Amino acid sequence: MTIFPTSLTFLLIGLATIYISGFMLLRLLQNRLIFEPKSLVLATPAAFNLPYEEVWLSVPTSRNQTEKISGWWIPQTQPNAEVILFLHGASGNMAAQKKSCNLERVAKLYQLGFSVFMIDYRGYGNSQGRFPTEATVYEDAAIAWNYLTQEKSFAPEEIFIYGYSLGGAIAVNLCLQQPKAAGLIAESCFTCIEDMAQYRRKIQIFPLKLLVTQKFDFINKVKSLRIPVLFIHGMNDETVPATMSQKLFAAAPEPKKLLLLPNAGHNDLGEVDSDRYLAALQEFFPTAEGRVRSQERILTQLRSQESGVRS
């Protein structure tokens, strides 16, 4: 009479053990589900007839060592050109394919008159380091920013930050650290990792609020943004639904713009509707620059008033 209850007890204990083990494994290794780095770089900016310099940036680690980040500096010929810091997504590297979507975007930005700096996060491409985490990619973006402001002597107001897909979550984090940046462009971006897990319906048997450690919480960070932002998304995006950019847009403070391209997917916006894509960028950049100049005028007026009061 006790065989069945005993067997049921062992079965329940076994299932609970499997459940808890799976939960802990996902907590420890979830960055392996988010990041998809590739080490082989198959193209350079030269493939798109862009002038470039190979850059290596040092990152101090907690183990008292130094790791190197690989980057490409793509300068304009005119000395007064502004710059875009380009942050790629979770998959591949700066150029994991000969016809690199990242380099295609960069070529269009260069066409608009900007110098561009792009990096591979540690663990991607030729960059050194272990498998990436949310913390390390944030550090890498900050190192890239410091290169532009310290090595290249750009003022923060001259630097736009462009984040594609996961790169948008990295970019908004950098924008909060650098509130004087000229503006943010967020292409094909998600709201947060928890929402992406719900969208893909793969791990809903677990309590996501307890499970997710790599949060990439774009939706909450964007609420504190104090610079102009342009959201761009393809309506046929099956990787990240366009509704997520709509939610980000709704949460962001002004000034902000949203461009939805009806026939574009996750990584082909610039190809499917190049004219509207470029037009949106061309419209956004002067708006953002005008805001910066307006702020500078206000600060100048305030300083003049303070000087008058003191005298």
> Which residues are CB-contacts of 27 (< 8 A; sequence separation ≥ 6)?
211, 213
Q: What is the 3-state secondary structure (H, E, C) of 40-51?
A: CCCCCHHHHCCC
Question: Residues 55, 1: one domain?
Answer: no
Identity of residue 148: L
Question: Residues 132, 55: one domain?
Answer: yes
Cα dist. 56→70, 74, 119, 122, 202 in Å? 5, 14, 9, 12, 38
Q: Across residues 219-231, what is the average pLDDT?
A: 97
**Does residue 87 surpass a pLDDT of 50?**
yes
DSSP code of residue 127: -
> Which residues are CB-contacts of 96 (< 8 A; sequence separation ≥ 6)?
38, 40, 41, 42, 125
Lowest mean pLDDT among 13-17, 38-42, 173-177, 179-183: 13-17
Question: Residues 159, 192: one domain?
Answer: yes
Q: Give the confidence band of 165 by pLDDT, cuts at 50, 70, 90.
A: very high
Question: Residues 114, 151: one domain?
Answer: yes
Please provide the size of the chain in residues: 311
Question: Residues 243, 107: one domain?
Answer: yes
Question: Residues 296, 196: one domain?
Answer: yes
| Domain assignment of residue 30, given as a range | 1-34
Pick the closest to residue 89 from 277, 240, 209 (CA basis).
240
Query: Per-residue pLDDT tens for 28-69?
Result: 667 677 899 999 999 999 999 999 999 999 998 877 889 999
Question: Residues 104, 23: one domain?
Answer: no
- So what's the pLDDT on residue 310? 43
Neighbours of 230 (CB within 10 A): 24
User: Does 207 sit behind a cis peptide bond, omega within 30 degrees of 0 on the bond before it?
Assistant: no
Question: Residues 49, 83: one domain?
Answer: yes
Query: Per-residue pLDDT tens for 99-135?
Result: 899 999 999 999 999 999 999 999 999 999 999 999 9
Question: Residues 227, 302: one domain?
Answer: yes
Question: Residues 103, 219: one domain?
Answer: yes
- So what's the pLDDT on residue 30? 76
Identity of residue 112: L
Lowest mean pLDDT among 17-26, 68-77, 208-217, 254-263: 17-26
**Does residue 70 surpass a pLDDT of 80?**
yes
Sign, CA dihedral 56-59-65-70, equals negative
Question: Residues 55, 4: one domain?
Answer: no
User: How far, rounded to the nearest angstrom, does the alpha carbon of residue 95 sit from its chain's CA centroid?
Assistant: 16
Whole-number CA gyration radius for the chain: 22
Question: Residues 164, 304: one domain?
Answer: yes
